Every structure is written in C-alpha cells, then in structure tokens.
Amino acid sequence: MAKRRIVNKKKFIRGITILLIGFILIILLLVMMIKGIISLFTKPKDQPNEPTTSQTSNQEEPIPKGNTVTVASTTTPQKTDENDEILSQWNLKLVNKDHSVDRSYVPELAEIDDGIQFDKRAISHLKEMINAMYKADITKIWVQSAYRSYDKQEELFNRKVEEYKKQGKKQEEAENLAQTIVQRPEMSEHNLGLAADFNTVTNEFEETKAFEWLQKNAHNYGFILRYPKDKQDITGITYESWHWRYVGKEHAKVMKEKGYCLEEYINYLKGVQEV
C-alpha cells in the first residue's frame, strides 16, 4: 500500500512539473506576440539617408576638359575624371627619377635646325617663341639640345658618372651625383622631345637678356623653367636656367601665376597640392 502511494506521488509531481513548463512556455509566447504587435504600431519614421562618397563627389566642381585650366579659387581641387583626362595629356607627361618613360615611347619629331629635333605637336610654339625674341632684338638665342634618344641619354649619363669616379667617388655615389645634373635614360625630359636647352647650357644663361625675356614671356607660348633655383628639393635636379619645357599655354600660365614647378602642378591637379 505504501509503495503504491509513492508511485502516485511521483506521478503527481511529474504532472505538476509538466504543467508548469507548459504554462511558462505559453507566457513566453504571449510576451513575444505582444512585443511584436507593439513594434508594428511604434515603428520609427525613416531617417533621411546620409550622402555617400560617390554622391558628394558628384557635387565637386571639375576642372574644364581639354587644355583649358581655370583656377578660380585658392582651395585644393578635388580629384575628378576631368582631372584624369588633363593629367593624361601628352604635354603634361611627368618624367623624373620617380616617373620613367618606356623606351618604346618615341614622339613624332620635326627638325628645328641643324639636326636638332622637337616634338612635332609643340615645335610651332617653340619657333613662335624664338621669333618673338628676335623681334624683341634678342638675337643671341639658339637651341643647343632638344630631343635625345635613349642611347644618347645613356651615353651622357655614363660620361658624367665617370667624371665623378675620377674624383674618387664610388659607383653608387657617382651615379647619384650624376643624376642631379644628367638624368638617366628613360628619366629625362629630353626623351620626350618637349625640352629645349638654350645657348651654352650653363647657368651663365641667366645673365642674358634672353633669360630675362623668357622669365617674363615663356608662359605665353606654353613653356616653363623646368628646374627653378628654389625648387631643387622638389625636382631633384640642380638649377638649370637654360632648360625650358613645353606644357601648353593654359597650364604654363597657371604654373606661372602660382609659382609651381611641374611636380607641384601635377600634385595640384591630383588634389594633393594646396595653393
């Protein structure tokens, strides 16, 4: 009899436990349903979308296409597709120790005088500038060097290296010193056919009327002094008063106005150089 009571007691406890668990589950379900109903009636209003990077970039004022560059403010320009088009122009091609030109690149050339060649697309501007100098009674002006082949540039570079080695410099030091005066092949603007070296190719040129005239007027014909005295730390090249580079009239005028060398102007167009 006692044994039967124990069994019945266990069944009773088990039944109560099952009922409690069921009751708890029902309460949980009801709570979840109530929360769902409340959330339907209290859904927050949609917030306005924040502008994405692509949306804000579309609001930037681009630099005009083609060769026309208008700088209307002193702020840093934003990077745009139009800027990319300008930077890809042949007359703005940057060549230096950090930006080489492939040996396969050979511009279409035209002769200036006595076998000296210049990029055919820019030679008329060079001739026009020299003629203007003659009209200003500056007749002691001539182009000593312009386009150079890669082999010729290599010859000049190696010659300068040997000069330093004869002074007791080791190969690496001699090459580094030579590169501040004569660029390595593929790193020289003369490989582009857009650079003109005037007269005796020495800094005595800065004492001439021709140099004074070029400083005042060269930008009107699309030319810049490529390696200015106060930009040597940027160009990596020692001051060359005789070396003038064609970049196009519009670009040259902006560079003249802002006092930029080519490296600075390229960075300006990329949006990383402040005015």
Measured CA to CA, the distance from residue 68 to residue 252 in angstroms comes to: 11
Q: Are 112 and 123 in contact (CB under 8 A)?
A: yes
54 burial level (CB within 10 Å; 0-12, 13-18, 19+): exposed
> Minimal CA–CA distance to 109: which of 168, 199, 195?
195
Q: Which of 189, 240, 250, 264 is catalytic?
A: 240
Residue pair 110/118 in contact (Cβ under 8 Å)? The answer is: yes
> Which strand (E) or helix (H) includes residue 118?
strand 116-119
Picking from 163, 166, 167, 144, the residue whose alpha carbon sits closest to that of residue 244 is 144
Query: Rounded to a whole number, what is the distance in angstroms from the first to the last CA of the chain?
Result: 105
DSSP state of 261: -
CA distance 203 to 243: 10
User: Does residue 240 have an active-site annotation?
Assistant: yes
The radius of gyration of the chain from alpha carbons, rounded to an integer in Å, stands at: 37
- Residues catalogued as catalytic: 240
